Every structure is written in C-alpha cells, then in structure tokens.
Amino acid sequence: MSDDPDKVWPTGLTLKEAEEVHSYLIDGTRVFGAIALLAHVLVAVSTPWLG
Amino acid sequence: MNNAKMWLVVKPTVGVPLFLGAVAVGSFAVHVAVLTNTTWVADFLSGSSASDDSAALATDPSILPASGTAAAELPMYIEAGADGSQSMRVILPDGRTATLVVDDLTQAALLQ
C-alpha cells in the first residue's frame, strides 16, 4: 500500500473518499425521508390520527 | 458537506451500519409507541375498521342511542302510536321505521 499523503488517519480515507461515502449516506437519507413523508401523508389521510 | 470529514475519524464499515441501525431502532420505537398509545393501529392490525362506533351506528339500526350525539344529529319524525298507546312510531331519515316504547315518562327505549 503506497504511502498516499492524502490519506488521513485514523481511518486512512482521503478527503475525497470521505466525501464520496458521505454523499451516498446523504442521498440514502433523502430517499428514506421521501418514503417516510409519503407514509405519513397516507396515515394522516386514512387513519384517525389527525381527526 | 463539511460533515464528510467524519469518515476521516470513523471508519465507514463501522459508522454506516451504526447509523442505519440507530434509524431502525428509532423507527421501531416510534411504531411501538404509536401502537400502544392508540386504538386504531391495533384495530387495523386485527382487521376491524378504524372507526367502530360510527360504523356500528350506520349498519346496525337497533344501536341508535336514545340520547347520544349521533341521535341528536339524526332528525327523527315521531308520530303517536295508532292506538294512542304508550308507543310511538319513529320514522328515521332513511325511511326505516322503529317503535319507540315509552316505559314511563322519564325513560325511552328504542325497539326495532
């Protein structure tokens, strides 16, 4: 494993790799949020939750 | 995206499952809380309709309470019994009729 100066410890990822991982996590969270929003709308419409 | 630097400190193989696990546990806890604090989720899961009270009123005419908010909303047309006895004919708005037997002046029971 060549000693890459961009690697940052303790994880050994480069900042670019960290941002890539993070972007996937952010996108996943957005998809989760959209699905949850749809679920809440359906529950609000079809149950006595909001009267 | 300044939070991305967290992955320079926390290994993604540890952080990502931890993050997703926390979301799952939190979501599960919310579902349990809603299940235990409402009646309609348990009703839904056991297959009975969400709004039992009004449904029963709509389908089962004999459960029309003499004094109840539902009765108050339903206009009734009452005419004295033909033979003038202590019973009265109640004509409900949807055309069905019922006999209202007055046991005594203070209490009324609706019979079908």
The total of other beta-carbon atoms located within 10 Å of residue A25's CB is: 19
What is the secondary structure of A26-42 as a DSSP string?
A: HHHHHHHHHHHHHHHHH
Query: Does A22 belong to an annotated binding site?
Result: yes
Cα separation, B48 vs A44, in Å, equals 18
Does the structure's ipTM exceed the value 0.90? Answer: no
Please write the tens of the pLDDT for every residue from A2-51.
678 889 889 999 999 999 999 999 999 999 999 999 999 999 998 888 87
pLDDT of residue B14: 96
Please write the tens of the pLDDT for every residue from B17-34.
999 999 999 999 999 999
CA-nearest residue to B24 within chain A is A32
Cα separation, B98 vs B95, in Å, equals 10
Record: contact A48-B8, CB cut-off 8 A? no
